[in-house]
Amino acid sequence: MPNPEKIFRVRLLGENALRDVSGVAPALVAGVGLKARLSELVGESGEAAPSAGTDSGGDRAMTGLELSIASDWSRPIAELRWQIDHVVRRVRRLYDLLGAHPQLEAEAAPHNLAAAVALDLRRAFGNGRDAQPPAGHSPGLQSKLRHPREGLGLDDETERFAASEDLFRRWVNEDPAVRTSIAICDDVRQLAALDLAGGVLEIEIIEEARARELGLNLLLAVGQASDASPPRLALARWTPSGMSQSRPPLMLLGKGITFDTGGINVKPYESFVSHMRNDMAGAALAFAAFRHLIMGGYPRPLVLAIPTCENAIGERAMRPGTVVKSHRGLRVKIDHTDAEGRLVLADALSYAEERFAPELTFCFATLTTAALQAYGPYATPVHFAPAPIERALRQASDATGEDLHFFPSRAWHYEANRDDEADLKNTGRLPGYMPHAAGSRNAAHFLLHFARAPLVHADIFASTWNWGGDFPGTGYGATGAPLRTFVRALEALAND
């Protein structure tokens, strides 16, 4: 093993039968690019167990394994998270340690790297604070993560991020028959019950009759076939104490399609229809980030806007080819009913900008499968970020290990959304031989037609769900990404 200061020690404590661990380490790191050593821990003293084959008086229970992983800490945190997680997964499977209680020691590790790995372990093995660990061991994630210069303990910080990430993932993983637009709005209302210091919170839920009066016709068109999850627009505004409401807020806008059948243009199995509970992940991210920030007394005005409904099939469902007048006044042809997310976001963006006059909007949406096809299962394409915002997001992304890729606005993507019959269509396509190219880019530019203030749009379809099955610390379902990155960036922007 190289320099001992460059080693993570992960202890997995459980009640498993003793096994021989000699010679296992090379298989654990095959194809990962790390070096590792595996040893056994027995009893409260942590003494090594006898090797397999020795006279130990029969099978004995061991309290766990210690995995020492050597890593180059100069590598991107995104890569190190993936590498360390792969080794830990292999140990868990090999020794049936799914219910183990993790401990992590990386006292000399950089703060951000240690925190990222601690959060992954916490998520992989559960909170641990409500479970009972083996006798003689304290509960939960014993991170022991101290910066060598600052002596900084990270437990409180990791737990606060973890709680917000748990909330985000719980929303996304919930059965769509339960996580309806009504349930989303109920949770937004419940923000008023929080013990908030340092600010004032105002909440409004716009239901169908009021939405019709306001001209939110795109939102109404998408949700009009569902009684169980009808169209709603949930709004919340946070104003710090002593600050005038005349200061423009930042706005968090999240797509809340509680289930996406594709509508009359039915979504096929190959387009992940069985996973479409996750089509409200943008709403979940915006809500979790908003709650996290106001619970911390965020010092800037902040607005939350969630357009939410189900894109259902039924006799009231919107028809392909229908032209709908949007809140902005632009006429939009419903060219394809499975391109519904941009429609609800367009109306919400237009109305919320008119009402709150935000300085800048962060938009979160599982907007296109093209994001997964083009950028792979870990990355989030971010469109239109102004230079200071891109800089803050890059720094936060580097610190959390959640990959972001940045793209500017371009005229050809903007114009790709024009239509001959209406002003716009909801299936932006580049001309000629590229009709299916740049789907995430074209969809993002559709939203620009409805924005007056700067817009930063994150297409989180690829990163927010564990498509490849190997997202760090995550089993089936929601990953929790890229919440850490956007919260950190918003905190960094708090005093700008």
User: Backbone phi, then psi, for 235, in 5-degree steps?
Assistant: -130, 140
Say how many residues make up the chain: 496
- For residues 41 and 54, give the distance between their C-alpha atoms in angstroms, rounded to a whole number: 16
Q: Of 256, 259, 303, 262, which is closest to residue 281 (Cα–Cα)?
A: 256
* Amino acid identity for residue 90 in this structure: R
- For residues 427 and 306, give the distance between their C-alpha atoms in angstroms, rounded to a whole number: 22
Radius of gyration of the chain (CA): 24
Phi-psi sector, 328: left (phi>0), alpha (psi -120 to 50), beta: alpha
Contact by Cβ (8 Å): 164, 483 = yes
- For residues 20 and 53, give the distance between their C-alpha atoms in angstroms, rounded to a whole number: 8
Location of structure tokens 């060219």: 335
Active-site positions? 267, 342
Residue 361 CB contacts under 8 Å (≥ 6 apart), including other chains: 250, 251, 252, 253, 349, 352, 353, 451, 453, 454, 455, 456
- For residues 38 and 42, give the distance between their C-alpha atoms in angstroms, rounded to a whole number: 13
